[in-house]
Amino acid sequence: MVIVEEAAAIAPEIAELRHAIHREPETGYHLPKTQAKVLTALDGLPLEITLGERLSSVTAVLRGGRPGPVVLLRGDMDALPVTEATGLPFASTIDGAMHACGHDLHTAMLAGAARLLSARRADLPGSVVFMFQPAEEGGPDGNGGAQLMLAEGVLTAAGDRPAAAYGLHVFSDMFGCGVFETRPGPVLAASDTLEVTVRGRGGHGSMPHRAADPVPAACAMVTALQTLVTRRFDVFDPVVITVGAFHAGTWSNIIPDKAVFHATVRSFSHESQERLREETLRLVRSIAEAHGVTVDAGYVEGYPVTVNDPAEAVFAAATTTDLFGAGRSRVLANPLLGAEDFSYVLNQVPGAFVLLGACPPGTDPRTAPSNHSPAAVFDDSVLADGTALYAELALRRLSGSREPT
């Protein structure tokens, strides 16, 4: 398998780029150091490069020597506001920032794929768009970087819109090292936020009848939201509501004026996502009225469901099987409850999102620190394989072939 061998040959350079990005993590929309590292890695390749205006994105177009369709490959570049605790020799040198979700691997693998595909430019039947994206974890205004790159024209960078789009994501737990998993249909959840402020009338804790206590009203809302999940939504189209923050009061004998809670709301279909907005807001408003308090409730829509095109998911799984063997290509049994802004791309372009285990060998994926943990570790051994898969997906999709290159 030539593409696998070629990826293995450049693995040291891919790892070097990954380590350099990992040492200087950047968060949000503006990643100037990361962008500069990517541009250096792409320097000398026959690519048409466009930089983002509202964010530090890099869009690189490789035009093949023969006419054909367009394929988009995406790698996210941003880190998280986490203080690293891995002790790695290339650990973050930036306080309060860490590549705790493995985006440094995605970026390095995509740059490696650009090298492999550029070497085949003359025979390439079509074009490849390499989408180096900031702010997958979101930015200050709440938008993900994919939304901004779409607005700035990443889907028309090569002229024609992509016929297919592919993304990878590494995991420091759950999956064995080097194991690829994907599935047709929903692969990751939609992620929204419910923000509730219950307003009452403060008073002395010994005389609650002379106040309007917002705390029991807010508590009733929290428990009723869990009942809402089990009684208003189909168990075969699941939703999850988790109240992660609840704040009220200052002292045991003081009834506060307000109680505030925030919840993350996850769903696996567009229909459930829309219905959750209506049902959650109706519920908290009705409970507030019943308790004689008022409520300010807002439903903040986040990333939509990440949905793999069925045919593209089967194609991606078959490609990983051909490249690496059946033992390393598995069907993801159920969608994961994490969310991804690659969902916006897949809403417009058929494609597939593939998950890759990067848990260090000898570490139990069931107990390893997870993505977003300050102790999350991703093994370099997967870099060559991810690079090869990116490149092979593009090559096969452009040529219409289902055979290894």
Average pLDDT over residues 157-176: 97
What percent of the chain has a predicted confidence (pLDDT) above 90? 97
* Domain residue limits at 84: 2-188+305-399
Is 90 exceeded by the pLDDT of residue 405? Answer: no
Helix (H, G, I), strand (E, B) or coil at 243: strand
Cα distance between the two ends of the chain: 7
- Cα separation, 133 vs 57, in Å, equals 5
CATH code, domain with 211: 3.30.70.360
Which of 265, 300, 335 lies at the terminal end of a domain, its last residue?
A: 300
Residues 289 and 359 in one domain: no
141-161 mean pLDDT: 95
| pLDDT at position 404 over 60 | no
Per-residue pLDDT at 40: 98
Residue 346, pLDDT above cutoff 90: yes
Say if residue 156 is in the same domain as residue 238.
no
In this structure, is residue 405 part of a structural domain?
no
Q: Compute the residue count for the chain.
A: 405
Question: Each residue of 277-294: pLDDT tens digit?
Answer: 999 999 999 999 999 999
Phi, psi angles (nearest 5°) of residue 22: -65, -35
178 and 195 fall within a common domain: no
The model's pTM is 0.93
**320 and 384: one domain?**
yes
Same domain, 311 and 333: yes
pLDDT digits 0-9 by tens, 14-39: 999 999 999 999 999 999 999 999 99
Shared-domain flag, residues 78 and 213: no
How far, in Å, CA of 400 to CA of 405, rounded?
A: 12
Instruction: For residues 53 and 156, state if they share a domain.
Output: yes
Tell me the percentage of the chain whose pLDDT exceeds 70.
99
Task: Please check whether residue 143 lies inside any domain of the structure.
Answer: yes
Do 135 and 196 lie in a common domain? no
Residue 1 above 90 pLDDT?
A: no
pLDDT greater than 70 at residue 275: yes
Q: What CATH number is associated with residue 349?
A: 3.40.630.10
In a domain, 404, yes or no: no
What per-residue confidence (pLDDT) applies to 401? 66
Across-strand partners of 56? none
* Residues 27, 157 within the same domain: yes
Q: Which of 146, 172, 11, 17 is nearest to 84 (CA)?
A: 172
- Calculate ∠ Cα 163-168-171, nearest 5°: 160
Q: Give residue-wise pLDDT tens across range 54-105.
A: 999 999 999 999 999 999 999 999 999 999 999 999 999 999 999 999 999 9
Q: State how many domains the chain has.
A: 2
State whether 103 and 179 are in the same domain.
yes
Co-location of 60 and 173 in the same domain: yes
Residue 256 lies in a domain: yes
Pair (99, 124) in one structural domain? yes
* DSSP per position, 98-163: B--SSHHHHHHHHHHHHHHHHTTGGG-EEEEEEEEES-TT--TTS--HHHHHHHTTGGGTTSSPPS
Q: Which residues pair with 320 in a beta bridge?
A: none
Q: Judge whether residue 192 has pLDDT over 90.
A: yes
Q: Which residues on adjacent β-strands are paired with residue 168?
A: 354
Say which amino acid occupies 140.
Answer: P
Q: What is the pLDDT of residues 245-259, one digit of tens each?
A: 999 999 999 999 999
Q: Is residue 99 a part of any domain in this protein?
A: yes
Q: What is the pLDDT of residues 108-147, one digit of tens each?
A: 999 999 999 999 999 999 999 999 999 999 988 878 999 9
